[in-house]
Amino acid sequence: MKRKEFLTACAAGLVGSAVVPRLAQGEPHVTQPWPSVSSDDDRFWAFLRDQFPLTRDRAYFNTGGLGASPYAVIDAVKAKMDELERVSETGHNEELWKSVKGSAATLLGCDATELAFMRNTTEGINVVANGLPFKEGDEIILTTHEHVGNALTWMPLARRKGLTLRRFEPSTASAGENLARLRTLISRRTRLIAIPHIVTTTGLVLPVKEICALARARGIWCFLDGAQSAGMMPFDLHDVACDAYATSGHKWLLGPKETGLLYVRKEMLDSITPLFVGAYSADFDFLKDFYSYEKSAQRYEYGTVSIPLRYGLGAGINFIQRIGIEAVWKRDRALADYLYDGLRSIPGVTVLSPSSPDLRSAMTTFVHDRLPHLEMQKHLDTFNLRTRSVTEGGLAALRISTHIYNSFEEVDRVIAGVRSA
Ligand SMILES: Cc1ncc(COP(=O)(O)O)c(C=O)c1O
């Protein structure tokens, strides 16, 4: 449909749910032409919502836990699986690697050769943690609000190698306060700062560029847990200048479950030794006792993998890119800001997410002074609202993630639900 035709259809009330018939479960999906109205237009988002099989019986606010996939992703996975199962081949091919990593590199602001496919963020963190050359007595700085993926990963390693984990409480007050808190933990023994880009508990965006610069100036490595940032907000890894960054494909990137990416700055490739190796990690000749790791981050990949999932991840990234990451961020934040204001107006509610818009993301976390968070969650369940309980860092709160398939009407339902509690 041309822009003009689309606008005419809009005027006739034919956009979004009217243009795209709702499908019964299992019914094949027919991809609709992409609308050419601007992303400032609500009708654009109504159209996008129709690209997801996600039920409308329940409003889904847990993208920080798991993102919903659009038909474009589901269809890519199914089609590739059907194709490969007809011939029983793995489907591994270099062109696919190049194209998916190329799209991811454009989105994340790095080189495709600095990216490795992972199963999730946690796997990427494990590669970094177990691959860095720590010595007994080395110290690692983290926050007190780590998700298990960036908490447990370091604990047995610290015990095994005699490392010390030092933690600072992330402040929602200001970027400067976080830098100050982190600075007080730096000692001669600090080897690594391993912190989230966006804190899982409150959605706080940490000043990662300044933190990486501080680390670099002191000869300290900087690793970012990016589970919550890729696909939610625009950033450029080369500009951030971290040493490594891990993320999930199955959250804000809308990819299939069990997909992820690990970025390792090219100069760090030889410092992070691959923990698991096998086919695709290296050139080798077993009989001559020779091996040489891949020059790229592919050295962290090994063995047979699911090609349909890789295709699906590529489709998820392309879907985000087609909307434009700036437009995604604007939409996600508009929903989150609307929610923030709505929650703040309810007596008894305290919003734990930062009050400064510059520090906020698309995850909004709150508590109620009379209703414990799990009871609040149950109460919101009765309104068919899927939220996420937050217990990291000793909190007992509820988190609401707002992504492109959410609407202002759904956010109104959260506000009304909390108000009625
Ligand atoms: C900050 C953070 N790190 C890591 C993870 C773990 O992600 P995955 O399950 O994809 O490994 C999450 C998941 O919610 C998270 O929020």
Mutation choice for ligand 1 from 233, 248, 399, 401, CB with most ligand atoms inside 8 A: 248
Q: What are the backbone dihedrals phi and psi of residue 317, each rounded to the nearest 5 degrees, phi first?
A: -65, -40
Rg over alpha carbons for the chain, rounded to the nearest Å, is 22
Sheet holding 190-196, edge to edge: 115-118, 260-264, 244-248, 221-225, 190-196, 139-143, 164-168
CA distances from 239 to 110, 210, 234 (A): 9, 11, 12
CA distances from 6 to 32, 34, 321 (A): 12, 10, 21
237, 148 contact by CB (below 8 A):
no
Q: Which residues line ligand 1 (CB under 6 A)?
A: 64-65, 120-122, 147, 149-150, 196, 200, 225, 227-228, 248, 260
Query: Which residue, by CA, sits nearest to atom 7 of ligand 1?
Result: 121
Report the atom number in ligand 1 closest to the C-alpha of 146.
1
Report the atom number in ligand 1 closest to the C-alpha of 199.
1
As to burial, measured by CB atoms within 10 angstroms (0-12 exposed, 13-18 middle, 19+ buried), residue 136 is exposed
Distance, CA of 323 to CA of 404 (rounded, Å)? 10
Distance, CA of 401 to CA of 324 (rounded, Å)? 19
Report the atom number in ligand 1 closest to the C-alpha of 122.
11
Query: Which residue, by CA, sits nearest to atom 13 of ligand 1?
Result: 65
The owner of tokens 């409308």 is 56
CA distances from 323 to 69, 72, 107, 320, 363 (A): 15, 13, 12, 5, 20
312, 73 contact by CB (below 8 A):
yes
Confidence (pTM): 0.93
User: Residue 51, Cβ neighbours under 10 Å: how many?
Assistant: 21
Report the atom number in ligand 1 closest to the C-alpha of 198.
1
Q: For every one of its 421 residues, what pLDDT tens digit does the chain have, with 9 covering 90 and above?
A: 333 333 333 333 333 333 344 444 545 566 678 888 888 899 999 999 999 999 999 999 999 999 999 999 999 999 999 999 999 999 999 999 999 999 999 999 999 999 999 999 999 999 999 999 999 999 999 999 999 999 999 999 999 999 999 999 999 999 999 999 999 999 999 999 999 999 999 999 999 999 999 999 999 999 999 999 999 999 999 999 999 999 999 999 999 999 999 999 999 999 999 999 999 999 999 999 999 999 999 999 999 999 999 999 999 999 999 999 999 999 999 999 999 999 999 999 999 999 999 999 999 999 999 999 999 999 999 999 999 999 999 999 999 999 999 999 999 999 999 999 9
As to burial, measured by CB atoms within 10 angstroms (0-12 exposed, 13-18 middle, 19+ buried), residue 302 is middle
Ligand 1 centroid to Cα of residue 225, in Å, is 8
Task: Specify the pLDDT at position 20.
Answer: 42
| Closest alpha carbon to 151 in 393, 401, 360 | 393
**Helix or strand run (H / E) with residue 42:** helix 42-49
User: Residue 27, Cβ neighbours under 10 Å: how many?
Assistant: 10
Task: Specify the pLDDT at position 30.
Answer: 62
Task: Specify the pLDDT at position 28.
Answer: 52
Ligand 1 centroid to Cα of residue 200, in Å, is 8
For 27, residues 6+ apart whose C-beta sits below 8 A from its C-beta are: none
| Closest alpha carbon to 376 in 414, 407, 340 | 414
Query: Which residue, by CA, sits nearest to atom 4 of ligand 1?
Result: 149
The residues pairing with 399 across neighbouring beta strands, listed in sequence order, are: 365, 388
| Closest alpha carbon to 48 in 66, 32, 59, 27 | 32
Mutation choice for ligand 1 from 121, 195, 313, CB with most ligand atoms inside 8 A: 121
